[in-house]
Amino acid sequence: MPLLHLFDLDGTLMYGSAAPIEISRQLGLEHEIAELERAFGAREIGPQDFSRAAHELWSDLTPLHVRAAFDGAPWLAGIRDVWQEIRERGDYCAVVSLSPSFFVELLLEWGAHATHGSLFPEVPFTRPVDVTGVMTPEGKLTVADLLCERFGVTRADCVAYGDSMTDAVLFAALPRSVAVNARPHLAERATHVYEGRDLREAYQLVGGTRPGVAAS
């Protein structure tokens, strides 16, 4: 049975940063997004409020800003190599993130089979964000189930990669998980823990395993 690898983006595929931070940096709004990130991390606001506030903050955003943010982000090494190997093995890889869909979707260019983020209007914005389309930690599991159906696998065939408590629901529901540069409270919930800047090393912790087969 193939495996489905489910990757978080912020703090996981991206080292020490997040898509909203990189986007805001292009607009000179580092202080403003840092306050939103602080409030979100302290659970003073939820994903919907964060997305609504970020949408308002990014009123001058253009596609050029988005591309510059993506190209300049501190990505882990080896992402495309890992996804190519996953494809060659007949497995699947997807990115499931709370970050804006217009940013997450760019990872399709690197070989992801699917990407899911918080649904934002097309850039430049001419419409408000519909908060019903904002991804939540619980929504990540819903998306995982939909991807399982799409690719003909079950939760038992999934591996989750994440770094924060927004990944905890997914980690709790799936049999294998890799905490990547994670906060301690998530790392203790993972089946594997990785610290470093190369996704190839994190992938090797679980890449060769199959349900019921011990890693060599």
Task: Identify residue 133 by its one-letter amino acid code.
Answer: G
Cβ-based burial of 76 (10 A; exposed 0-12, middle 13-18, buried ≥19): buried
Cβ atoms 93, 7 nearer than 8 A? yes
CB atoms within 10 A of CB 41: 13
Residue 170 has what pLDDT? 97
What is the rounded CA–CA span in Å between residue 160 and residue 3? 11
What is the rounded CA–CA span in Å between residue 204 and residue 42? 33
Helix (H, G, I), strand (E, B) or coil at 12: coil
Residues 6+ apart with CB under 8 A from 174: 6, 144, 155, 158, 159, 160
CATH architecture of 4-15+74-204: 3-Layer(aba) Sandwich (3.40)
Residue 15 has what pLDDT? 98
Mean pLDDT of the residues in the chain: 95
What is the rounded CA–CA span in Å between residue 85 and residue 42? 38
Per-residue pLDDT of the chain (216 residues; tens, 9 = 90+): 899 999 999 999 999 999 999 999 999 999 999 999 999 999 999 999 999 999 999 999 999 999 999 999 999 999 999 999 999 999 999 999 999 999 999 999 999 999 999 999 999 999 999 999 999 999 999 999 999 999 999 999 999 999 999 999 999 999 999 999 999 999 999 999 999 999 999 999 996 565 554 433
Boundaries of every domain in the chain: 4-15+74-204, 19-71
Cβ atoms 139, 119 nearer than 8 A? no
Residue 210 has what pLDDT? 58
